[in-house]
Structure 1
Amino acid sequence: MFRAWNFLVILPLLFALRKLSRKQRRQSIISQSDERVLILGASSGIGRRIAHKYALRGARVCVVGRRDDKVTVVVKECETDNTIGITADFGNVGDMIRVRSKLEKEWAGIDTVVVAAGVSALRPLLEVAGVNSEQNSDASEAGIKFAVNAAEAAIKGNYIGPMVAAITFIPLLRRTSRSPSILLISSLGAVIPAPTRSMYGSTKSASLLLYQALAIEHPSIKFSFVLPSTVEGDFRASAVDQLSSTIQASDHTPTDSKSALQIDDVAQRCIQAVDQADKVIFMPGTMRLGHLLYWLWPSFVEKKAMEKYNFTAD
């Protein structure tokens, strides 16, 4: 019994030392000032803050976003000659090949790829199609088509984009880096289902599983997956599921939005995950238990999800 308790006390210390060792090992191969970092979706939100932090520690940073004006702003904010900006859509094959060619020319390769781009979807699926539950009406052809178009936009932003990025940059990483790493910023909604987030969660889940499979197919690359819960910022701005009819939409803002994760904290944890080769990171960490609890007691988790998103079932 005494030995067992000793082991339980020492185990957290061993875990911390292991993380420190992995961080030191990568930095002994690639110094912070030599690291070449590509950030897809760096023009706003978490990706933007990650760009700031990598630039601050001296890395070479490539900022990629769809809007030229925002990309230019982020490059200026980084305040370093080692930062370059490229206006491109990571779901566009030609754009990603153009980014790859420029990085081969400018840096002779890359060491770290951060996939931070994506889109949101914020409504129950039938509401997206214009179905008014109070009237118990069927979806019209136009409503169904609108839902399909919204889903295609979500798939492009949350699955096709990450897939194109993986195909484009994995060979370059393997060929040009002594310690290649890929970070995918996913969502807690990718592993714990929630009402009003059906379209968003399912598409984020698809890219998460894709990258988890890629991690097995390419063991020479260290993959990290960050799964944050509600994060501060204008998440709703990228919503692809705006209503197709004039029905009054209910408010599905998370009840815990006032205590949302800080962007700076999430960005810092993302960089730490790459440094330490952490595989799956839940934010907050207690949500790892929530993921397990869904399989043990799904009705409890479903009830809490309904409360969080102010959702009332028909």
Structure 2
Amino acid sequence: MAIIPIFITIRRIWLRSRRILKVSKIDERVLVLGASSGIGRSIAHLYAERGARVCVVGRREDKVEEVAEECRIRGTLSSGYGPTRVLGISGDFADVDDMVRLRTMLETEWDGVDTVIVAAGVSALQPLMALAGVEANANGTKFTPPKATKEGIQKAVDITALATRVNYVGPLVSAITFIPLLTATSASPSILLISSLAALIPAPTRTLYASTKAASLVLYQALSIEHPAINFTFFAPYTVEGDFRASAVDAGPVREADPNKSGLKREDVALRCIEAVDTYEKTVFMPSWNRIGHLLYWIWPSLVEWRARKKYNFGA
């Protein structure tokens, strides 16, 4: 047992050196989808600081240019490779036209890409029944009103479509668009999908968020089998600090305490993401002990479900 940490460390160093031999840090071409905020923004910063070519992509043009300029400054200060090695492109990663346009630009400017980071996503905060305007009592046995209206059901369907478009269709369009380009142009093609612990351990009030993130996770897990030449990494973090909940497609209330202040630091998550890509890690939990929670869910589900209710202050 004592030598296991030493073995893991040596293995990571060896794997990191393997990728650097194939794609050096200053030659790496990194595409960050969802780079205008959150974890994606921090990842773009760190790649720029180490001298990589970075393409930041987001839906809002002003935010994209802001992050691109931040990357140029950071790249110049740390490595001297900033201004000419950063691209800022506005686009929706669930829009086929936008992604084909982006692919053409990467082929023209960089002759391809080495690393694709899929970091975009939206949250959803309400229980599923609440989306349809139905509230349950404390133990979930009675509802007010007693049943959902036609309009309420349609509203739930419409909100689900919004969450699905970003959390599932976007990753799907990205995969179809860039997997052939990665395979053809990189000596060490890699894809990082930023998922969520909620995709692996269900949580109350996260019905839509968890299910749509789980769908994209399984999609990419299956793609990793279909395309073994690409190094896929699946990242499942615990709650991350920041304003991610502001993207909620259901505009629901947040039940857990201090949602914007508690949680993992975005910079720490970004650093761990890059390390995982560098060392060819497959599935990464952060914190790592959440892997035990995932296993425990299958061994003792009632305990994990009780803890989830406590965390989200959920009584029904």
Question: Which residue of the partner structure matches residue 169 of structure 1?
Answer: 178
Residue identity in the other structure for 1:58:
G
Paired position in structure 2 for 1:181: 190
Q: Secondary structure at the match of 2:3?
A: helix
- In the alignment, the residues of structure 1 paired with residue 109 and residue 260 of structure 2 have an alpha-carbon distance, to the nearest angstrom, of 41
Corresponding residue for residue 58 of structure 1: 51
* Cα contact 1:91–1:161 (8 A) shared by 2: yes
* Residue equivalent to 1:20: 13
Contact residue 241 and residue 260 of structure 2 kept, 8 A: yes
Q: CA deviation at 1:132?
A: 2.7
Q: SS state of the match for residue 9, structure 1?
A: coil
1:68 pairs with one of 61, 66, 90: 61
Report percent identity of matched pairs.
Answer: 59
Q: How much has 1:254 moved relative to structure 2?
A: 4.9
SS in 2 for 1:174: helix
Which of 114, 134, 138 is the equivalent residue of 2:147? 138
Task: Supply the distance in 2 between the matched residues of 1:183 and 1:254 (Cα, whole angstroms).
Answer: 30
Deviations for 1:236-276, whole angstroms, at most 9, x for unmatched residues? 11111136xxxxx6x42357764400000000000001000
Q: Given the alignment of the two structures, is residue 210 of structure 1 paired with residue 213 of structure 2, yes or no?
A: no
Task: Select which of 6, 9, 16 maps to 2:2.
Answer: 9
Q: Which of 268, 271, 275 is the equivalent residue of 1:265?
A: 268
2:128 to 125, 142, 147: 125
- Which letter maps to 1:86? I
1:129 Cα deviation from its structure 2 partner: 1.0
Structure 1 unmatched ranges of 5 or more: 1-7, 244-248
Deviation of residue 88 (structure 1)?
Answer: 0.3
> Which residue of 1 is the match for residue 78 of structure 2?
none
1:205 offset after TM fit, Å?
0.3
One-letter code aligned to 2:265: Q
The answer to whether the Cα contact below 8 Å between 1:255 and 1:309 also exists between their aligned partners in 2 is no
Instruction: Describe how 1:256-295 pairs up with structure 2 within 5 A.
Output: 258-295=261-298
Question: 1:14 deviation in Å?
Answer: 1.3
2: distance between equivalents of 1:132 and 1:209? 31
Match of 1:84 among 87, 105, 109: 87
Could you tell me which amino acid in structure 2 is paired with residue 231 of structure 1? V
Aligned to 1:148: 157
Answer whether contact 1:230 1:257 (CA < 8 A) is retained. Answer: no
Q: Which amino acid aligns with 2:305?
A: E
In the alignment, what sits opposite 1:233? 242
Q: Give the counterpart letter for 1:225 in structure 2.
A: F
Task: Write the deviation string for residues 19-67 of structure 1: whole angstroms up to 9, x where unpaired.
Answer: 1100011001111000000000000000001000000000000000000
**3-state SS of paired residue (1:183):** strand
| Aligned amino acid, residue 272 of structure 2 | R
1:231 is paired with a residue of what secondary structure?
A: coil
CA distance in 2, matches of 1:195, 1:132: 14
Other structure's SS at 2:125 match? coil
What's the CA shift string for 1:184-210, capped at 9, x where partnerless? 000000000000001100000000001
The Cα of 1:155 is off from its aligned counterpart by 0.6
Q: Is the 8 A contact 1:123 1:252 kept in 2?
A: no
RMSD of equivalent CA atoms: 1.3
Listed as ranges, the gaps of 5+ residues in structure 2 are 74-81, 138-143
Alignment partner of 1:307 is 2:310: yes
